[in-house]
Amino acid sequence: MNIEALLLSLRLASTVSTLLLLVALPLAYWLAFTAWRGKFLVESVVALPLVLPPTVLGFYALIAMGPHGALGRIWRALFGHTLAFTFTGLVIASLIYSLPFAVQPLVASFESLDRRLLDASSMLGAGRARTFARIILPLAWPGVITAVVLSFAHTLGEFGVVLMVGGNLAGITRTVSIDIYDRVQALDYTSAHQTALLLLLMSFVVLSVVYGVNRRVWSLWPSR
Amino acid sequence: MVTVAEPVVTSRLSVRIQKRFRAAGTPPFQLGIEESFSAGFTVLFGPSGAGKSTLLDCIAGLVSPDEGFIKLGEEVFFDSEKKIFLPPQKRGIGYVFQSLALFPNMSVEENASYGLSHLPAADRSEKVERILATFHIQALRRRKPAELSGGEKQRVALARSLVTEPRVLLLDEPLTGLDEGLRQSILQDLREWNTVHGIPILYVTHNREEVNAIGDRVLAIEGGQGRKSGMPGAVLDAPRSAGLAQAAGFENLLQGKVIEQRAVDGVMRVALDATHCELEVPLGTAQLGESVQVAIRAGDILLATHALHGLSARNVLPGTVESLEVRGPLGIVRVNAGARFTVHVTPGAMRSLELTPGLILWLVVKTHSCHVVSPQ
């Protein structure tokens, strides 16, 4: 088994799921509570990675990050190199790729909150920030955990986007799923089996956490 | 028991608002209220969907009206012309929702201190202590809302709002589903609290008993409009519309046409549709030939087993008993006199008159027990 590739994947997944939470919380809050009629457009953009082939997304990401892309040019002006085939480039591409997996559970849990609780908070003098911290976040906690876990798992298993944007550089962009592909190409089935089984088990654990967390909430608050 | 004291500070809540609602699949609804609320209870009474809760939401700032103003004393909460809209958290209004909306993730004590975050911890716990005592819920402080009974939840919700010392209190059917004793005891706690604070309390209900139990001023609302305000007796006993009559508990609502007006006698005659029945009712604004509804309380109709003479009641209608029913202290008699009437008597009267289905008898209704209301 390729430990280096596994560690890289874990590092990528944890970086992405943390950053994604920071992006997705305000975005999901806005989507759940805005009265703007055009919000379906934003919803569609957020959901795009669900239906786009990863290679398409990866292709556009690669173009944008390359020496002629806007992002690549800015990055080169700042740091002296482009984003393509770097770990940072992988993180940025993965942020876009996993965005719906973080945003949708959050929106769903925000929307399922009893609006009267938020009204009650306002009537008791709380502004938006306090209502968010004391009411929305604690009550939407299962949604937050689901968002983190799903975006972590989704990033861990991504293949097409990584291959397009990151290539296959050992220790920099060679993630587990790419490693498995490599091993199969090299007819090293034993190693491929080991890594694949590990990923399978991790995915199962992750989904158990998601379903377990949501189930616990149903039994704690029968007044739902 | 109830002590009445002069309120300390009195600020009138003045409301003049218009709000139109348009939603796909529902008829457009317009709220138009012009009213002023002084310290003490005002009961907002009307059928479901009359716009009572929407009025509270507008006053609270949760819904923004299209036009008009909302003021408390000199302070402007909302003014469409001056483009003023004070957000709900800045209005200092207490609002207890029908659903109560206790925070499920917090204990009773945490719920009660939620609105006091601006105070130092010592003041906060002192105030919470006092309000929990006022509403007799000290023992519940560590419980979560899911572990409370209905009545306990209602007390906690009231305590949570009142501890912030609001300048207006909005109550949206806060005591529904409670038995009479519990309701009276909570109302009394509330009254005692308000003898000190003297704020306007707007109390929404569609329950007639509750209106009588509170007994202060009533504003009847129907179809988004304020219909009538005054003391409960005056508002409930003379409904102006069929919807309000039904809500106020007029069991008999009869459709008919004005066929004669006698200004000299102060009466007019109404022929009930599809019957030979005619009723003499007080002279009203209805025109000759106009369709009206006549509302009569089941308890305002007398039954006689023999034809009577020398009676001041002008309406004596022969009919046949269709069915009898006893519900606790109430005997319900359904009589077919061309139109179907529901009559309330005591079970004792039912027995001594030997009422049985098929019996022929006479319905006796005073002219002034007939209330002409406009159809919906």
Could you tell me the CATH number of the domain that includes residue B206?
3.40.50.300
Is residue A40 one of the residues assigned to a domain?
no
B265 band by pLDDT with thresholds 50, 70 and 90: confident
A125:B104 CB<8 A: no
**Which residues in B211-290 belong to E strands, given as ranges?**
217-222, 225-230, 252-262, 267-272, 278-282
B94:A119 CB<8 A: no
Query: Among B97, B118, B124, B156, which would you mutate to test the A interface (most chain A Cβ atoms within 10 Å of its Cβ)?
Result: B97
Q: Are B258 and B292 in contact (CB under 8 A)?
A: yes
Q: What pLDDT, on the 0 to 100 scale, is given for residue B7? A: 44
The two counts, helices (H) then strands (E), for chain A are 12, 0
| Per-residue pLDDT tens over the stretch B164-216 | 999 999 999 888 777 777 788 888 888 888 888 889 999 998 777 777 777 67
Does B2 or B169 have the greater pLDDT score? B169
- If asked whether residues B95 and B174 sit together in one domain, one would say yes
B99:A222 CB<8 A: no
pLDDT mean over B126-152: 91
pLDDT mean over B320-348: 86
Three-state secondary-structure class, residue B360: strand
Percent of chain A whose predicted confidence (pLDDT) is above 70: 95
- Nearest-CA neighbor of B59 among B211, B167, B135? B167
Q: Which chain B residue has its CA at the smallest distance from A116's CA?
A: B101
Domain span at residue A22 reads 3-32+47-214
| Per-residue pLDDT tens over the stretch A73-95 | 888 888 888 888 888 889 999 99
pTM to 2 decimal places = 0.72
Question: In the sheet where B301-304 sits, what is the strand order?
Answer: B301-304, B360-365, B315-327, B330-337, B339-345
Is residue A223 one of the residues assigned to a domain?
no
Q: Quote the CA–CA distance of A146 and A210 in Å, as a whole number.
A: 5
Other C-beta atoms lying within 10 Å of the C-beta of residue B289: 8
Q: What pLDDT, on the 0 to 100 scale, is given for residue A134? A: 94
Q: Quote the CA–CA distance of B194 and B8 in Å, as a whole number.
A: 10
Out of B95, B118, B146, name the one closest to residue A223 (CB).
B146
A123:B94 CB<8 A: yes
B240 band by pLDDT with thresholds 50, 70 and 90: low
Q: Which chain A residue has its CA at the smallest distance from B63's CA?
A: A119
At which of B213, B246, B279 does a domain end?
A: B246
A117:B103 CB<8 A: yes
Q: Are B73 and B232 in contact (CB under 8 A)?
A: no
How far is the alpha carbon of B169 from chain A, nearest alpha carbon, in Å? 11
Domain span at residue B335 reads 250-373
At which of B193, B216, B246 does a domain end?
A: B246
Is residue B5 one of the residues assigned to a domain?
no
B114:A124 CB<8 A: yes
Nearby residues of B373 by Cβ (< 8 Å), 6 or more positions away: B239, B240, B241, B242, B244, B245, B253, B292, B293, B294, B295
How far is the alpha carbon of B351 from chain A, nearest alpha carbon, in Å? 48
Task: State yes or no: pLDDT of B9 exceeds 60.
Answer: no
| A127 interfaces chain B, CB cutoff of 8 Å | yes
- If asked whether residues B352 and B254 sit together in one domain, one would say yes
- If asked whether residues B179 and B261 sit together in one domain, one would say no
Q: Which chain B residue has its CA at the smallest distance from A123's CA?
A: B89
Q: What pLDDT, on the 0 to 100 scale, is given for residue B115? A: 93
A124:B115 CB<8 A: yes
How far is the alpha carbon of A132 from chain B, nearest alpha carbon, in Å? 13
- If asked whether residues B217 and B327 sit together in one domain, one would say no
Q: What pLDDT, on the 0 to 100 scale, is given for residue A223? A: 40
- If asked whether residues B225 and B281 sit together in one domain, one would say no
Q: Which range has the top average pLDDT, A1-10, B124-133, B242-251? A: B124-133
Q: What pLDDT, on the 0 to 100 scale, is given for residue B375? A: 61
> What DSSP line would sit under A189-208, residue for residue?
HHHHHHHHHHHHHHHHHHHH
Q: Which range has the top average pLDDT, A59-73, A135-149, B230-244, B339-353? A: A135-149
| A130 interfaces chain B, CB cutoff of 8 Å | yes
- If asked whether residues B57 and B186 sit together in one domain, one would say yes
- If asked whether residues B239 and B285 sit together in one domain, one would say no
| Per-residue pLDDT tens over the stretch A147-191 | 999 899 889 888 888 888 888 787 788 888 888 988 999 999 998
Q: What pLDDT, on the 0 to 100 scale, is given for residue B226? A: 78
Q: Are B334 and B341 in contact (CB under 8 A)?
A: yes
Task: State yes or no: pLDDT of B56 exceeds 80.
Answer: yes
Is A77 exposed, middle or buried (CB count within 10 Å of its CB: 0-12, 13-18, 19+)?
exposed
Q: Are strands B40-45 and B217-222 parallel, antiparallel or unpaired?
A: parallel
- If asked whether residues B89 and B219 sit together in one domain, one would say yes
Task: State yes or no: pLDDT of B256 exceeds 50.
Answer: yes
| A133 interfaces chain B, CB cutoff of 8 Å | no
Q: What pLDDT, on the 0 to 100 scale, is given for residue A220? A: 41
Is residue A221 one of the residues assigned to a domain?
no
Does B129 or B248 have the greater pLDDT score? B129
Candidate from B6-15, B170-179, B250-259 with smallest mean pLDDT: B6-15
The C-alpha angle B190, B247, B283, rounded to 5 degrees, equals: 120
Task: State yes or no: pLDDT of B311 exceeds 60.
Answer: yes
Q: What pLDDT, on the 0 to 100 scale, is given for residue A216? A: 56
Q: What pLDDT, on the 0 to 100 scale, is given for residue A224? A: 36
A219 band by pLDDT with thresholds 50, 70 and 90: very low
At which of B221, B246, B271 does a domain end?
A: B246
Q: Which residues of A touch B97 (CB under 8 A)?
A: 116, 119-120
Candidate from A74-88, B39-53, B215-229 with smallest mean pLDDT: B215-229
Is residue A42 one of the residues assigned to a domain?
no
What's the domain count of chain A? 1
| A115 interfaces chain B, CB cutoff of 8 Å | no
Candidate from A46-60, B129-143, B213-227, B288-302 with smallest mean pLDDT: B213-227
Is residue B364 one of the residues assigned to a domain?
yes
B1 band by pLDDT with thresholds 50, 70 and 90: very low
Q: What pLDDT, on the 0 to 100 scale, is given for residue B224? A: 81
- If asked whether residues B193 and B335 sit together in one domain, one would say no
Rounded to the nearest integer, the mean pLDDT of chain A is 87
End-to-end CA distance of chain A, in Å?
Answer: 46
Query: How many pairs of residues across A and B have Cβ atoms under 8 Å apart?
Result: 67
Is residue A39 one of the residues assigned to a domain?
no
Out of A116, A125, A139, name the one closest to residue B97 (CB).
A116
DSSP designation for B64: -
Out of B145, B146, B164, name the one closest to residue A125 (CB).
B164
End-to-end CA distance of chain B, in Å?
Answer: 42
Q: What pLDDT, on the 0 to 100 scale, is given for residue B274? A: 81
- If asked whether residues B36 and B178 sit together in one domain, one would say yes
What's the domain count of chain B? 2
- If asked whether residues B46 and B189 sit together in one domain, one would say yes
Percent of chain B whose predicted confidence (pLDDT) is above 70: 91
Is residue B4 one of the residues assigned to a domain?
no
ipTM of the predicted structure? 0.79
Looking at residue A143, which CATH number applies to its domain?
A: 1.10.3720.10
Is residue A163 one of the residues assigned to a domain?
yes
